[in-house]
Structure 1
Amino acid sequence: MSDWFEKLLGFGERTPDEVRAKLQLDGTRVHSKNNNESYECGPEKGSD
């Protein structure tokens, strides 16, 4: 059964080293090298 992490990023959360190897941060975007999906990350805009 897959969880939200696997559904979004294309791989399960197993070890910190594996997660770091399969993700790339570019400014405020996180990119999955596994399924080529990217998401905006950081504080919600207008939340200050």
Structure 2
Amino acid sequence: MKFIKEEDEKRRDYIFKKDNKTIFGARFIIIVLVILVGAVVASGIHFEWF
């Protein structure tokens, strides 16, 4: 099984395609996770948990 399928490959056993939708989705998820981690750290500092 291949992890990332190139656009021009003809195969069905892959996890991610290398296309615009997958790249946009991965970037969106990473940005949301960074924002959530920042919010947790900011609230911890605000409520003096750290």
**Superposition TM-score, scaled by structure 1 size:** 0.22
Q: Flag the structure with higher strand content.
A: 1
Greater RCO, 1 or 2 (C-alpha within 8 Å, sep 6+)? 1
TM-score by length of 2: 0.22
Higher helix share: 2
Choose 1 or 2 for highest CA Rg: 2
